[in-house]
């Protein structure tokens, strides 16, 4: 068990009069679980909301029950939050109470049997292979910025990286000879992912020839004009601009390339477990969404290209009695 004395949390975690148990939980997810500060800040915001509810209801955290959980969700609903936000708040609370049970501060998790709000299933946006090729061709590989950008796009698609994983890469995380990357994902979980030869070649040339031209002031792999590390927002803006140049009309983000990586692997015959490992998903349920994407794309292609589908779409006429006489 961790220390009962809560430590001060580093910036940018906001300071607030939280219950000491909440402070312990935030310390745990920051120090022991290694969550990013942005994630811890989101947890803090959720816990501040819970603290305000407890204060308004003159309720101690120790007294919190499943009934209070329902009342709290109703309270959040009345403030205008939709199901997705409600589910996030509930996940924060479940994490808090699971931690308190593990630390033996309470006997049981009052939210363990509380069902999540139903969320609509949104299939992730995926680029076609042709769109990926067009996107990769946009950066001008004859200057340092363009070559850097081409290398980043190649890696995002070649290894299915999250943008935070890309911006966190260091030169020492690259094994060019083996064609492998050491990646630190959510919760600083480490995984090793392969990259194909094309991405490896771009990366080798970038490291040897172009990265020194940025006059590096940071240890990360990809640098901005000032030699400091690129931000996630910076990468997002670059990809959006290149997508517009490539004539890609759908909304696009760095995660779109990750979605495309997973979907194209499955379409090429990769098994779900392999894709789960490559993406760094803790739960295979998170990976299964790509099978739905694959099925949706197959149905779309079938409807578009099968001659009977085209015929029925153009005619859209019921069979006449004479037609049915010839049916097998």
Q: Per-residue pLDDT tens for 108-121?
A: 888 877 776 664 55
DSSP β-bridge partners for residue 181? 174, 193
* Residue 164 to residue 39: CA distance in whole angstroms: 12
> Is the CA virtual torsion 151, 154, 159, 164 positive or negative?
positive
| Nearest Cα to Cα of residue 165 among 43, 51, 257 | 257
Check residues 188 and 236 and name the one with the higher pLDDT.
Answer: 236
Active-site annotation holds for 281:
yes
- Of the candidates 68, 89, 148, 162, the residue annotated as catalytic is 162
Q: Work out the number of other CB atoms within 10 angstroms of the CB of residue 149.
A: 23
* Residue 167 to residue 231: CA distance in whole angstroms: 7
Q: Which domains does the chain have, with CATH numbers?
A: 1-120 (1.10.150.130), 129-303 (1.10.443.10)
Q: What is the pLDDT of residue 291?
A: 74
Tell the residue number behind the tokens 């290694």, with chain if given: 34
- Of the candidates 19, 33, 75, 186, the residue annotated as catalytic is 186
Q: What is the pLDDT of residue 183?
A: 93
Check residues 188 and 197 and name the one with the higher pLDDT.
Answer: 197
The alpha helices in the chain, defined as continuous H runs, are 20-27, 37-56, 66-78, 83-102, 129-136, 144-159, 163-168, 197-205, 232-245, 254-267, 272-279, 284-287, 289-305, 307-315, 321-325
Burial class (CB in 10 A: 0-12, 13-18, 19+), 57: middle
Q: Among 11-15, 120-124, 198-202, which is the least confidently predicted range?
A: 11-15
Length of the chain: 328
Mean pLDDT of 74-101: 87
* Residue 293 to residue 128: CA distance in whole angstroms: 12
* Residue 35 to residue 37: CA distance in whole angstroms: 6
Task: Kindly tell me if the per-residue pLDDT of 6 is higher than 50.
Answer: no
The alpha helices in 160-306, defined as continuous H runs, are 163-168, 197-205, 232-245, 254-267, 272-279, 284-287, 289-305
Within a 13 Å sphere around the CA of 271, how many CA atoms are in the beta-carbon half?
A: 2
- Of the candidates 88, 191, 281, 297, the residue annotated as catalytic is 281
Active-site annotation holds for 186:
yes
Tell the residue number behind the tokens 């006429």, with chain if given: 317
DSSP β-bridge partners for residue 202? none
> Is the CA virtual torsion 95, 100, 103, 108 positive or negative?
negative
Active-site annotation holds for 258:
yes
Burial class (CB in 10 A: 0-12, 13-18, 19+), 36: middle
pTM of the model: 0.63
Residue 326 pLDDT grade (very low, low, confident, very high; cuts 50, 70, 90):
very low
Model pLDDT for residues 13-39, shown as the tens digit of each residue: 444 578 999 999 999 998 888 887 778
Check residues 309 and 208 and name the one with the higher pLDDT.
Answer: 208
The answer to whether residues 146 and 140 touch, using CB atoms and an 8 Å cutoff, is yes
Active-site annotation holds for 290:
yes
φ, ψ of residue 64 to 5 degrees: the values are -65, 130
Average confidence score pLDDT of the chain: 82
Eight-state DSSP code of residue 183: E
Q: Which two tokens stand for residue 22?
A: 């909440």
Check residues 11 and 68 and name the one with the higher pLDDT.
Answer: 68
Tell the residue number behind the tokens 């961790």, with chain if given: 2
* H-run or E-run covering 32: none
Mean pLDDT of 292-309: 56
Model pLDDT for residues 248-291, shown as the tens digit of each residue: 988 899 989 999 998 898 888 888 888 888 888 877 777 877 77
* Residue 240 to residue 261: CA distance in whole angstroms: 18
């Amino acid at each position: 068990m961790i220390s009962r004395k809560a430590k001060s949390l580093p910036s940018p975690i906001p300071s607030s009069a939280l219950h000491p148990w909440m402070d312990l939980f935030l310390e745990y997810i920051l120090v022991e679980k290694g969550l990013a500060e942005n994630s811890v800040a989101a947890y803090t915001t959720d816990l501040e909301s819970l603290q305000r509810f407890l204060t308004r209801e003159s309720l101690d955290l120790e007294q919190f029950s499943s009934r209070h959980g329902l009342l709290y969700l109703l309270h959040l609903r009345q403030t205008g939050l939709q199901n997705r936000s409600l589910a996030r708040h509930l996940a924060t609370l479940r994490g808090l109470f699971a931690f308190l049970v593990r630390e033996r501060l309470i006997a049981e998790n009052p939210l363990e049997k509380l069902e999540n709000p139903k969320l609509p299933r949104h299939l992730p946006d995926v680029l076609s292979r042709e769109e990926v090729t067009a996107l990769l061709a946009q950066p001008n590989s004859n200057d340092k910025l363009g070559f850097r950008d081409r290398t980043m796009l190649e890696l995002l698609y070649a290894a299915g990286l999250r943008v935070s994983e890309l911006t966190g890469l260091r030169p020492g995380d690259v094994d060019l000879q083996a064609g492998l990357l050491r990646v630190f994902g959510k919760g600083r979980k480490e995984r090793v992912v392969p990259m194909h030869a094309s991405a490896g070649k771009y990366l080798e040339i970038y490291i040897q020839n172009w990265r020194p031209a940025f006059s590096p002031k940071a240890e990360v792999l990809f640098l901005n004009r000032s030699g400091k590390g690129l931000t996630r927002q910076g990468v997002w803006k670059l990809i959006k601009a290149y997508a517009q140049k490539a004539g890609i009309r759908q909304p696009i983000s760095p995660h779109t390339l990750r979605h495309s990586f997973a979907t194209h692997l499955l379409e090429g015959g990769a098994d779900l477990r392999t894709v789960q490992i490559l993406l760094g998903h803790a739960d295979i349920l998170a990976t299964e969404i790509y099978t739905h994407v694959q099925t949706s794309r197959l149905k779309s292609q079938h409807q578009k290209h099968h001659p009977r589908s085209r015929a029925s779409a153009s005619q859209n006429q019921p069979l006449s009695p004479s037609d049915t006489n010839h049916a097998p």
